A and B are shown apart, each in its own frame.
Chain A
Amino acid sequence: MTEELLVQNKTVVVPGEPLAEGMGFLPSKGTYRDHEMIRAKRLGLVEIDGKVIKLVPLSGCYMPKTGDVIITQVFDVSFSGWRLDTATAYPAMLGVKDATSDFISRGADLTEYYNLGDNLVVKIINVTSQKLIDVTMKGPGLRKLQGGRIIKVNPNKVPRIIGKQGSMVSMIKFATNCKIIVGQNGLIWIDGTPNEELVAVNTIRMIEHLAHISGLTERVKTYLETQLGKKIEEVPPMEEQAYTPAPHPNYGEGEREHRRPQRYR
């Protein structure tokens, strides 16, 4: 029985493309076994880790996951809460209990809290198999957004925009004096002066475009410096950033499933 790799690490493959032959290899995320062959299940970048072969997706829509912080918009108000548009195929439900610690009496007008069209930063607390999404607003940084603008980026590039421990986004924040919140669903809220907002938007677009390049932080720094005409010194450590979620553990190394279960925290 032959056993060989048919592609190199970090190459782009298309669905159905053979990646490896032989039972010695293990198909992981984004790949499947077809008899002796391991094939790609979607368009992506091959990542070979010993005998395990997986794909890093380059495109595709956002899949809601428990614990993700996302930016949403209220599109319906019911008796028991608000329905939110998550920029996916599925709406999210924000119950009264999860919305605020205020006392809200029965039958109160919920639009006094959040009205149609309001943008909210929320955290996903539960996703069912049928993709019913429950969200909460109890947590640091989860709030209603006022002013600013919202842009949409490829959700697969979000980890890159946030950077390691939020390094990339805090650099943009520091350089442009903008308030920025990055939702895992690919929506980004930016608030600052019009000029600075524009620089921030362009920078984010650049990161989205060049997400695959290594040493991007340096490049972004030079870009920001030329755009703003000032030197970026030390970026202060993050405060008030608890809402910026940690980079997707899925990106690069390590599987999301390997994260510590909630009960140990």
Chain B
Amino acid sequence: MTYKTRVDGRAFDETRPITAKVGVIKNAEGSAMFKIGQTTAYAAVYGPRELHPKFLQNPNTGLLRCNYNMMPFSGHGERVRPGQNRRAKEISMVTENALAPALDLKDYPNTVVDVFIELPQTDAGTRCAGICAASLALADAGFEMKDLVSSVAVGRVDERILADLNYDEEAYQCEKGVADIPVAMFPNTGEITLLQMDGDLSRQELQEALKLAKKVCQKIYEVQKQALKEKFLGESE
């Protein structure tokens, strides 16, 4: 039996409904909310500020520090224990690596820019939502960036290549199994800054999945762009 229709009735290359908003946290230098289906991510940027301990300082450039946090009752399963765990540390690290190539902090030597990503509600695709929110928040804070970063998870359920898997699809029981590939890229140039995979895929399937990811990232980019411009709508004449 193949996976003919998606659990929530979406087309195979369709994402869940997306809402994005910039400037949601007043005390932060920059902030954003990115919601995709039932997954909601908030990102807040603080800094540039002095970096301690001092040995971490880099006299050539500022440092980007991300903190990914899933809130205790945000998921489907049991309560997540609050605070850092191995998974959160890994995702914080890949988020940093996904955003750093876009960001230019050369003007802020010896400092750190903190990005806090909070997920009050999750339904798979959290790291992608977090990256989208964080890149909006960094742009809102006025940092120099080569490009925004758009991110989406693509994957294979049974025989089908799909965009933006939700939790039910990620946990789908089938013969061939499920593969899940979070991708982050610069939408304008198509450079990939995050590529992970859970499950297995053939070479051909992977190529197909990446092609789909690129297409979907373009759509997400449009939403991100719109959100940023909306905040400053009054500023253009």
Contacts and interface: CB of A to CB of B under 8 A. Distances in A.
Interface of A: 10-12, 14-18, 30, 32, 34, 39, 41-43, 45, 57-61, 63, 88-91, 129-131, 156, 212-214
Interface of B: 29-30, 47-50, 59, 102, 104, 107-111, 139-148, 186-189, 224-225, 228-229, 232-237
21 contacts: A12-B232, A14-B139, A15-B146, A16-B145, A16-B146, A18-B188, A45-B235, A58-B232, A59-B29, A59-B30, A59-B142, A60-B141, A60-B143, A61-B29, A63-B107, A89-B49, A90-B50, A90-B111, A130-B109, A131-B110, A156-B142
A130 B144 CA distance: 18
Given A14-B148, A39-B188, A63-B107, A89 B48 contact: yes
A261 to B, nearest CB: 23
Given A39-B188, A42-B145, A59-B30, A89 B139 contact: no
Contact of A42 (B50, B142, B229, B233): B142
Nearest to B104: A41
A60 B142 contact: yes
A10 B232 CA distance: 12
Nearest to A34: B189
Contact of A130 (B110, B228, B233): B110
Given A39-B188, A43-B228, A130-B110, A12 B142 contact: no
Nearest to B235: A212
A130 B59 contact: yes
Given A43-B232, A212-B234, A16 B144 contact: no
Contacts of A214: 237
A114 B24 CA distance: 39
Given A12-B232, A130-B59, A212 B237 contact: yes
Nearest to A214: B237
Nearest to B228: A14
A45 B229 CA distance: 10
Most buried by A among B144, B224, B228, B233: B144
A129 B106 CA distance: 10
B188 A12 contact: no
A137 B107 CA distance: 26
Contacts of B111: 89-90
Contacts of B50: 89-91
A60 B141 CA distance: 5
B232 A41 contact: no
A88 B29 CA distance: 12
A91 B110 CA distance: 12
Smallest CB-CB A-B distances: 7 pairs: A60-B142, A16-B147, A59-B142, A15-B145, A89-B111, A212-B235, A89-B48
A89 B108 contact: yes
A161 to B, nearest CB: 16
B26 to A, nearest CB: 12
B109 to A, nearest CB: 5
A10 B146 CA distance: 21
A90 B186 CA distance: 31
Given A17-B188, A18-B188, A43-B140, 4 more contacts: A15-B148, A212-B234, A212-B236, A213-B234
Contacts of A131: 108-110
A89 B52 CA distance: 12
Contacts of A39: 146-147, 188
Contacts of A129: 109
Nearest to A211: B235
Contacts of B48: 61, 88-89
Contacts of A57: 142
Contacts of B228: 12, 14, 43
A34 B188 CA distance: 11
B235 to A, nearest CB: 4
A91 to B, nearest CB: 8
